[in-house]
Structures are given as C-alpha cells and as structure tokens.
Chains A and B, each alone.
Chain A
C-alpha cells in the first residue's frame, strides 16, 4: 500500500484515483474547485435516435465511485504551492481556505490538472462578448438543455427568437499562430458534429452550416466524413471565414469559396464558435516545481522515467484528448503504479 496524491479531480484524476484506491492505496485528491468533474461538468448527452458516442455515459459512475470510495480523501478548494523530496518520500505544501498545510509521506504523485477552454482565457475572441448572436459551443450546450421546455414554441432554444439558420465555425483558438495554438485540439470537430446532429434532429427546419478547416476523426471508431454530414442534412464549407459582420437582420459571414474561387456571404441568426483545448495556466508552475518539460504549445511531458521519479502525468495536461482516451490514460497511470508495487515497493 502506498500514499498517493492526485492533483486535479477531472476525469483523468478520478479514473486514476479509483483504480489506485481499489488496489488498496491511500489516495488524496487535491482539487481547486468545490466539485469534481473539471471541464466536462456541464456537457449533456448528444444522442439522436442512436447514441453518437460523446463518451459522457462513461463518467458519472466514475465520479460517484470517487466520492464514495473509502480509500479516497478529497480536498476541495485546495491548491499546491510547494513540493519537497524528503528521504524516502515526497511532501506537498497545500493552501486550503487561506491556511497552509503539508501532506507528508507520499510515495507517488499524479498530476492531472487538465486543460483550459479558449472561452475561459482573457484573450478569447472579442466579438463574442459584444454580439449576443455569437456564442461558444458550450453556451449552445446550455441552450439545448433548455430545449425540452421550448420544443414546440417559437423560441426553441430560449434565445428570444427562432433562428432560421445556425452556423458553426471550427478551429477557433486552435491551429492559428495569432491565437498561440498551432496544434489541432482534436475534439472540437466531433463535438460540433454531434451538436449539429442533435440540433438537426430536434429542429429539422433549421438550416445548419459548419465551416471546417479540416475535418478530424470523431474519436473512437467514429470517423466523420463529408458523406456523414450530407446524410445528416448538415451543410459544410471547407474553409475558415474571413470576417463576420453584425447586421440587424442577422450576422453576415464572409468567406472565400474555394470551389468557385470567389468571395461569398451567408446570413445567419446564430453563430457558434468551437472551443479548443488550451494548456492549463498552471503548467509553467508545475514544470518548475516537479522538473517537467513544457512543450512549444504549453503542454507538459515527463523528462525522466515516471516509474523512477514516481511523478506521473495523466489526461489533457499532456495535450488534447477526448474523454475516453483521458480515462484510459488515467487508468494507465494507476496500472503502472500498481504493477510496479507488485514487483517492488517504492523507495524515493
């Protein structure tokens, strides 16, 4: 049995903690918020007549096991600000409700503090705050949850009006040098595709268009192809718009149609911006505290063999991943620790 600290109570941290506790370890989760769940706290189901495999079905059992497990202690509203190597063990300095404390005698540390959403960053696209008809994908999520009470009304999404058309623009805050993220976030294509399918399913009369730069795989076995979009009745344009202009009758989206080689425009009443996965702002702090590598994008990786240092990284702290891959990654860390425990006890 070992004493283990898991920093971050998102799905990566919870998946690791549950397996570690099942194997008899004593686990402490250190979470800065007052709730587990991290970024996926308020996503909703994206099933149409069939499940579209958004992966949410996999999470709630895990979170309840985390809170109910006798082997897991959760410290909410807590932050880590110090780390020490004592002979034979590690020690963390934490700050909780303004008080400083130490957790000593740790054999392993799992760092799982996840990612930041583009919309949470101050540098987020300025138009959004100005025009109510431009929203983030996560805001549409909130609106769709309300749809149940408005299904048959003139205001199905509780926007105050009924949009004739909805436009999604992909790759916001990803794959652009200005936005400091040159990589692809890998989850937002699938996310918008599912969201568009749900919208189309409930409101077939709403015209939906998605602007893609490139269309990514939608996750596990779920390849999205242009044919899938066509079958679902979703229009797509394979480019990123040049400009958006707010007018009284709607938003004018100006884009360059590659097929025609001409500048075109499209009118819509609701514009949904995809959100990328961005490095957590704490990553720099972690890299110095635990001697970790910070890559060009701001994600973390280990410099030395994790089994030797006893400090593991799990989940989106290392880069974009969907929920299922994040769960696997969290469990993988736990399995590595447990498999090592079988061979020899940890000595730090």
Chain B
C-alpha cells in the first residue's frame, strides 16, 4: 500500500511512501481516496496492480520553440566566441508565463558574466515577477544587459535570423545568437491519463478544469492531484510551494479519511440498467461499476453529495439512504445552492421582506430534477426560482450548466403546453452578492422575470 503514486515525475517526501508510474504504462484506475487500485505495466512488460491512498499527476509539459533554428531559454548557453551579440526574446507569440522570465533572466545574467565583451540584449513585452525575478531584473541591468520593451510589430525576426527593432527614437539591426522563451504545451498522452483517471480535461489540452474551488492542485476527484506542467503554463509559477502543500495535505488526509457528506447514496442493483449515465455525469469520479453485482456503485468517500446522479439516472436506481422527502407546499419557491446563494442569503439584511417566499437550500443547482420541477409546479407552486453559481465557480464543477439546461428545457415544454412562460427561472449568484440577491428576490416577487 502506497501513500501516493506519481503519474510522471516523483517528488521525494520523507514521510510518504511513494511510487512513480510512467504515464504511458498506466492501464487502469479503480477505487477511491485511501484505496485506489492502479494497474500498470512495469519495465519488464508485466502487468501489476498496486494500491495507493492518493494519486498525483505530475507530467512535465512539452516545450515548443517559437521559431526554428533558435535556442530556447532552457538550452545550454552557446559558446560566445563566434557571435557578435546574444539576443534574448520572450513574449513572442503570447506573453510568456512567469517561469520563463525567471529562466531567461538567469540565463542572460550568466551569459553577461561569462562573456563580458559581448553585448546581451533582452527583448520583452511584459516582465513577470515571481520568486526573485525582481532581484534578477535589477542585477541584469546592473551587468549592462540592454532591456528593450517591444510591442507587436516593432520587433521583426527575418528568416535569415536578423533581428530588427524599430521605435521612433531607436532603430536596431542585430545579428547574433537568438535565444527565445519556449511555448509550454500539454504533454502527449495527457488526455489518455485523464480518461483512465476519469478526469475532465481543462483548457488548451491541459488537465485541470478551470474552477475556483479546484485551487491549487485539486482535480474534481477526491485524492487525485494535478501538479505543474500537467495543469498549464502558469502552474509553474508557484510549483515549489504547491508541491509542498499538496504532499502535506496528503499526509494530513491519509491520517483519517472521513466522508464529505453525512447521507449516503446507493444504487439499487435490481433497477440499474448499466447505462453509465451516472458514471459520466458525476463531477467527482465517485461512481464505478461493481463487478460482482453487475450494477454501478457509489464510492462513498469520493461522493460530494451534489445529487446529480440521482436526478439523471433514467431508471431511478439511485437514492439517498436517509431520504426525507417532505411534502411540497404552495406559493413562490426559491431553491438556493448552499455554496453561493445560501451564503448571500445569510449575509443579507432584512430577510423578513421575503417571509412569504418558501426558501429551500439544495446541495447544488445541478441536483435539480426535471420531475421535481414539474412536481413543484403541479402542486400549484406558481413560480420557481433556482439560484446557483457562476460558471467556473460551481463547487461541483458543472452544476450551473446542468441547471441552466434543465430549466430551459422545462420552460420550453411549459410554453408548448400553454402552461405559462418563465415560470421557472435560473439565476447565477456569488456568496458576496447579498445586495444583488435582495434586489433580485424583490423583483421576482413582483412578477418581474427580467432579473
């Protein structure tokens, strides 16, 4: 039993028992935090299975040179003899991430020290400050490195490798060795790892979905972490701190893993038709197939209680164990997501203005079932207001989008059936939007649908 398996590069820890698995050799992952089962091929081609408490994906990103024939900030320094000058360039296609300012400054400084007779130029659009970049920037200027800021268009590199820089007051033509900040691109095979670990892909082919709650190294799946180059170019900026934090968190978590929610969800194996809807819909990778029962099962340490699986299962096979389905009342009903609108509600002054509204807290806007909405409306709830989170700040990653879609579908259906328009409204809020909430509730109460 390992504490942590690194997919990619291993980071030493004095207290955690760890193992490194080559991403290409990873075959399968089952289980949940505290008890993951990983299958992989070892060096001899033998298939092995190991158990681990947690998983850290730490695959270095690819580097791509922006132009052919140039050196990169991560290559070795060239020999200084046969060149007139050294030309460092960052931010060529897009602004380079801060880690590249760090690499470039360090390299330019060692070049200036090694070849004092050669002029070093450093072209940049935006210098970025992490770690000791501010100190390096000062030192580099002291050493006589010439820093020149450029805008798109006033720095041109010809096919022959000549650099020209034109500004109203300065005009330079330079021939020398060019060193450029490489672009950071996702490693090949990242997508395959994501599929095996049942993780959603993030922007630009990197692994981490953009969401406030996943900072800094969380994946949607409890016990699976994403570090450095697997997360994206800017993830290198605080890599040392984030790695330390992640390993300390793992050490802490593994002492005593408690479920995140009090009530358990269970699949009725008699009803489950193995359609895998729940597997796909669960934002936290908390569902897998139970081989013995030939039905799905909910992994209780991984489940975060958003109830999306329950609302989407076509066979109604999933239920909460201590279910307390209270009866529906009438009137104006507001369902508030506990992660955003509910907090705003608690912060809001003058709640008694809304004592005629029936306010209910839900774990996530994504837990809303169509049937429930129809049920509410049938039982003469005149109108329903569902308050969820902003896109990319939903704790359950996609609840807001699910709710948005469902509410639209319901409204269209109601319209076709002549049962009224805009009876159900979905609106996004943040915890600190108590004033917006007050305004919105009073407008909605008056019958205004334009919230």
Specify which of A56, A217, A221, A342 lies most central, judged by the most chain B CB atoms within 10 Å of its CB.
A221
By the criterion CB–CB under 8 Å, are A223 and B97 in contact? yes
Stretch at the interface among B67-75, B193-201, B285-293, B426-434: B426-434
Residues in A whose Cβ lies below 8 Å from that of B346: 64
In the complex, whether B406 has a CB less than 8 A from a CB of chain A is: no
- Distance from B15 Cβ to chain A, minimum over Cβ atoms (Å): 7
Interface pair B393/A53, CB less than 8 Å apart: yes
B126 touches A212 (CB 8 A): yes
B430 contacts A56, CB within 8 Å? yes
Instruction: Say whether B210 contacts A221, CB under 8 Å.
Output: yes
Answer whether A215 and B432 are a contact pair too, CB < 8 Å, given A186-B129, A331-B245: no
Asked whether any CB of chain B lies closer than 8 Å to the CB of A261, the reply is yes
Cross-chain contact B213 with A58 (CB below 8 angstroms)? yes
- CB contacts under 8 Å to A, within B145-183, are 149, 151-152, 154, 167-170
Given contacts A332-B244, A332-B245, contact A259 B167 (CB under 8 A): yes
**Is there contact, CB below 8 Å, between B255 and A342?**
yes
Whether A216 touches B125, Cβ cut-off 8 Å, given contacts A51-B430, A338-B255, is no
B255 to A, closest residue via Cβ: A342
- Chain A nearest CB: distance from B317 CB in Å? 32
- Judge whether B392 and A50 touch: CB under 8 Å: yes
Tell which of B94, B210, B213 touches A57, judged by Cβ atoms closer than 8 Å.
B213
Give 1 or 0 for each of B323-357: 1 = CB within 8 Å of chain A CB. 00000000000000001100100110000000000
Size of interface on B: residues with Cβ below 8 Å to A: 64
In the assembled complex, the Cα of A202 lies from the Cα of B98 at a distance in Å of: 31
B134 touches A183 (CB 8 A): yes
Option from A145, A183, A327, A328 in Cβ contact (under 8 Å) with B242: A328
Cα–Cα distance between A61 and B340 once the two chains are bound (Å): 10
Contact A262-B168, Cβ < 8 Å, known A216-B128, A335-B248: yes
Instruction: Annotate B433-448 by CB proximity to A: 1 below 8 A, 0 otherwise.
Output: 1011001000000000
Return the contact of B98 from the options A217, A261, A335, A336 (Cβ within 8 A): A217
The verdict on A75 contacting chain B, using a C-beta distance below 8 Å, is no
Whether B127 sits at the interface, judged by CB under 8 Å, is yes
Contacts of B439 in A (CB 8 A): 148
Cβ of A44 < 8 Å from any Cβ of B? yes
Least Cβ–Cβ distance between A212 and chain B, in angstroms: 7
Query: Is A287 in the interface zone, CB < 8 Å from B?
Result: no
- A residues in contact with B433, CB < 8 Å: 44-45
Give the contacting residue for A51; candidates B128, B235, B241, B390; CB below 8 A. B390
- Docked pose: A331 CA to B251 CA in angstroms: 12
Nearest CB of B to A10, in Å: 16
Q: How far is the CB of B404 from chain A (nearest CB, A)?
A: 12
Q: Quick one: given A221-B202, A339-B248, are A325 and B392 in contact (CB under 8 Å)?
A: no
Give the one of A175, A324, A335 with max B CB within 10 A.
A335
A261 to B231 alpha-carbon distance, docked (Å): 40
Beta-carbon contact of A260 and B168 below 8 Å = yes
User: What's the minimum C-beta distance from B167 to chain A, rounded to whole angstroms?
Assistant: 5
Cβ-based interface call for B39 (8 A): no
Nearest-CB residue, chain B, relative to A323: B215
Given contacts A214-B126, A259-B154, A339-B248, is CB(A57)–CB(B431) below 8 Å? Answer: yes
Identify the closest chain A residue to B258 (Cβ).
A22
Taken residue by residue from 218 to 235, chain A's Cβ proximity to chain B (1 for < 8 Å, 0 otherwise) reads as 001111011100000000
Neighbouring B residues of A158 by C-beta, 8 Å: none
Q: Are B98 and A226 in contact (CB under 8 A)?
A: no
Q: Write the nearest CB–CB distance from A42 to chain B, whole angstroms.
A: 9
- Asked whether A130 is an interface residue with its Cβ less than 8 Å from the other chain, the reply is no
Complex-state Cα separation, A212 to B126, whole angstroms = 9
**Separation of A226 and B150 alpha carbons in the complex (Å):** 13
Are A325 and B216 within 8 A (Cβ)?
yes
CB–CB B347/A60 < 8 A = yes
The answer to whether the Cβ of B219 comes within 8 Å of any Cβ in the partner chain is: no
A43 to B232, CA, bound (A): 28
Question: A329 contacts the other chain (Cβ, under 8 Å)?
Answer: yes
Indicate which residue in B127, B235, B431, B432 contacts A221 across the interface (CB closer than 8 Å). Answer: B235
Residues facing B in A199-217 (CB within 8 A) are 212, 214-217
Q: A258 near B430 (CB under 8 angstroms)?
A: no
A145→B95 CA distance, assembly (Å):
32
**How long is the Cα–Cα vector from A56 to B432 in the complex, in angstroms?**
8
Check A57–B392 contact: CB distance below 8 A: no
- In A246-299, which residues have CB < 8 Å from any B CB? 258-262
B393-A57 in contact (CB<8A): yes
**Which of A45, A47, A225, A339 contacts B252, CB < 8 Å?**
A339
CB pair B234–A223 under 8 Å, yes or no, is yes
Chain B residue at smallest Cβ distance from A296: B135
Nearest-Cβ distance from residue A146 to partner chain B, whole angstroms? 9
* In the assembled complex, B411 has its CB within 8 A of some CB on chain A: no
- Tell me which residues across on chain A come within 8 A of B252, comparing CB atoms: 19, 23, 334-335, 338-339
Q: Does A346 contact B (CB under 8 A)?
A: no
Complex contact A55–B95 (CB within 8 A)? no
- If A148-B435, A216-B126 are given as contacts, then 4 extra A-B residue pairs at C-beta distance below 8 Å, sorted by A number, are A57-B431, A60-B343, A223-B233, A324-B216
8 residue pairs from A and B, CB less than 8 Å apart: A45-B433, A47-B430, A51-B389, A55-B212, A57-B389, A60-B347, A226-B125, A328-B241
B residues neighboring A (CB under 8 Å): 15, 94-95, 97-98, 125-130, 133-134, 138, 149, 151-152, 154, 167-170, 202-203, 208, 210, 212-213, 215-216, 231-235, 237-238, 241-242, 244-245, 248-249, 251-252, 255, 339-340, 343, 346-347, 389-393, 428, 430-433, 435-436, 439
The 10 closest A-B pairs by CB, nearest first: A261-B168, A184-B129, A51-B393, A45-B430, A51-B390, A335-B248, A261-B169, A324-B215, A335-B252, A50-B391
